[in-house]
Amino acid sequence: MVNTILRNGRMATLDPANPRATAVAIKDGIFEAVGSDEAIMRLRGPATEVIDLKGHTLIPGLNDSHTHVIRGGLHYNMELRWEGVPSVADALRLLKVQADRTPPSQWVRVVGGWTEYQFAERRMPTLEEINAAAPDTPVFILHLYDRALLNAAALRAVGFTKDTPDPPGGVIYKDRQGNPSGLLIAEPSALILYSTLAKGPTLSFEDQLNSSRHFQRELNRLGVTSAIDAGGGGQNYPDDYRVIEELHRRGEMTLRIAYNLFAQEKGSEFDDYQRWTSMVSPGDGDAMLHMNGAGENLVWSAADFENFLQPRPRLSAEMDQELERVTRLLVEHRWPFRIHATYDESIARFLDVFEKVNRDTPFDGLRFIIDHAETIRPVSIERVKALGGGIAIQHRMAFQGEYFVERYGATEAQFTPPITDMLAAEVPVGAGTDATRVASFNPWVSLYWLVTGNTVGGLSLYPEERQLDRQLALSLWTKGSAWFSGEQAAKGHIAKGEYADLAVLSADYFFIPAEEIKDLSAVLTMVGGKVVHGDGDFRSLAPPLPPASPDWSPVTLQGQPSLHRHGAGQGHACLEHAHHHHPTCAHVRTPRDPFWGPFGCGCFAF
């Protein structure tokens, strides 16, 4: 007897053998049958729950092939989100409200998911505006990989003074008197941004459990049922996995997670992986939580952060030897691995190493992943294919496209990343977000970008022939991503025998205007045949969720808005540059100023 039947829907199964259906039956967390209402209702038993979808569109659950959901969950309840906020004025209003309700021992943090180009004013908030909105509560605002804005209270909290030296790879920007202004610059490394963020308070263990549950439920609200976690800086194994393991033990996870282990200390990467290979093996766990392999950081010398306001970083001569040593260890232990790689110049060198290792110890089907690959070239795509690898792409260009065009030009931007070339080469491709510190975790912003070729600021990056049709784009977020955790036979389609992971949408993704794609959400989400989110007509089916804690959490204030269509730019046009800024530009040009010339004006900072 089946447990659940969903009927009267418009089902995009993505299964070539059975592309359209109106009903589905679920038994023991697995799709038992997919077909017409009449055929599926014959399977109904006396205890079968029947859910009328009322004509809504149903799709396979979305699967983020590269995100940082475990680390993100530890901090989610502390973060004010600017996703979808349409203007600087609205962003500052939210900032002030949250600052007024945040206790003195805590910070207000805006960490990723936004860009200046989403705002009607087409500019950053100024430090003067931030200090006016929050004169006493520490505020840390992270913008992409390139900068952070700290108010005066935050500068005091982290102890930055005129005597604080610039760290390697970063700049503490000073005012005319030599005091820290509140602007931190990644030049070119983001280490200064993340090490400063790490100085802030953390949540208690119980609040981290609550925070992780709320983050997973927010992803469920967006139709996400699976995620592949790419580790991250400050995400030490096993210590920083205690929260997710406890949620798993309690049966409180609402998202399937496959996680990778990320080398933490420069110079100790080999030691990390040597220790971990004796502690855990790929596949350890179950269908809700299991270990997936190594990366995305294998060795720190291979890091090529895509701060498009800075020149492409040049990797050190030591990188090849260090990467080879770690790769050999992983291949010998049959650990799948993934590596952060933005630029083709880096990817080509990584592939040199992988091919060398493969000649001695064949990969022989061992899964490996190139992450990001914004400027990968056709020859490198073919080399990835020859080694049996895949490429995980994310919508980072939707947030940084304007900066890329300013540095490298619109023609080059048409191939960043060259997804259609990857697909033509028949390389496995999975879609994702790289959330949470830079891009938004909203999958519908990614799907909007894949389908339209537009940034969140409205800049068109790709010609029509490099835009994906809606079904193909959706397949990268479902069956495509499943390959990256070795689960391509278990999920990604609405098909008999696969996990009953699904999302019922607020509107029909396939027929709504393209601009409305980024506003989609799920009205019903199921993981393993269990309802994990319900809204609208399905709200009564949603399982209870405890209130966000602590009680000052921004989650209790604003919820999490989806991205909205942005208005036209306002403010004055900087005479040297083709973008808009605050009307009171009082910046003094200096030789160290990283925002002049091809980088743009720095007046937002003062």
- pLDDT tens-digit series, residues 92-115: 999 999 999 999 889 999 998 999
- Answer yes or no: do 268 and 148 share one domain: no
- Answer yes or no: do 401 and 472 share one domain: yes
- Answer yes or no: do 275 and 177 share one domain: no
Our CA dihedral for 142, 212, 551, 112, rounded to 10 degrees, sits at 10
pLDDT in tens, 494-521: 999 999 999 999 999 999 999 999 999 9
Euclidean distance between CA atoms 135 and 152, whole angstroms: 7
**Count of residues in the chain:** 606
Parallel, antiparallel or unpaired: strands 20-21 and 23-27: unpaired
Domain of residue 510, residue span? 205-485+492-527
pLDDT the model gives residue 573: 31
Euclidean distance between CA atoms 505 and 526, whole angstroms: 12
Whether the predicted pLDDT of 129 surpasses 60 = yes
Whether the predicted pLDDT of 170 surpasses 60 = yes
- Number of helices (H), then strands (E), belonging to the chain: the values are 19, 25
212 burial class (0-12, 13-18, 19+ CB within 10 angstroms)? buried
pLDDT the model gives residue 559: 56
Nearest to residue 224, comparing CAs of 433, 9, 466? Answer: 433
The DSSP element (H or E) to which 470 belongs, if any, is helix 470-476
pLDDT the model gives residue 574: 31
Our CA dihedral for 563, 86, 187, 582, rounded to 10 degrees, sits at 170
- Answer yes or no: do 428 and 292 share one domain: yes
- Answer yes or no: do 166 and 292 share one domain: no
Q: What distance lies between CA 604 and its chain's CA centroid? A: 26
pLDDT the model gives residue 558: 61
Give the residue from 199, 231, 255 where a domain finishes: 199
CATH number at residue 378: 3.20.20.140
- Answer yes or no: do 238 and 107 share one domain: no
DSSP 107: -
CATH number at residue 104: 3.10.310.70
- Answer yes or no: do 211 and 356 share one domain: yes
Q: What's the average model confidence in pLDDT over 400-411?
A: 96
Is residue 539 in some structural domain?
no
Q: What's the average model confidence in pLDDT over 266-275?
A: 96
pLDDT in tens, 431-446: 999 999 889 999 999 9
178 burial class (0-12, 13-18, 19+ CB within 10 angstroms)? exposed
- Answer yes or no: do 360 and 244 share one domain: yes
Whether the predicted pLDDT of 581 surpasses 90 = no
Is residue 347 in some structural domain?
yes
- Answer yes or no: do 240 and 184 share one domain: no
Give the residue from 151, 183, 199 where a domain finishes: 199
Tokens of 109: 């943090």
What amino acid occupies position 190?
A
Cis peptide before 336 (omega within 30 of 0): no
Q: Roughly how many angstroms between the first and final C-alpha of the chain, as a whole number?
A: 67
The domain tally of the chain equals 2
The structure's pTM equals 0.91
pLDDT the model gives residue 311: 87
pLDDT the model gives residue 168: 84
pLDDT the model gives residue 596: 22
The DSSP element (H or E) to which 474 belongs, if any, is helix 470-476
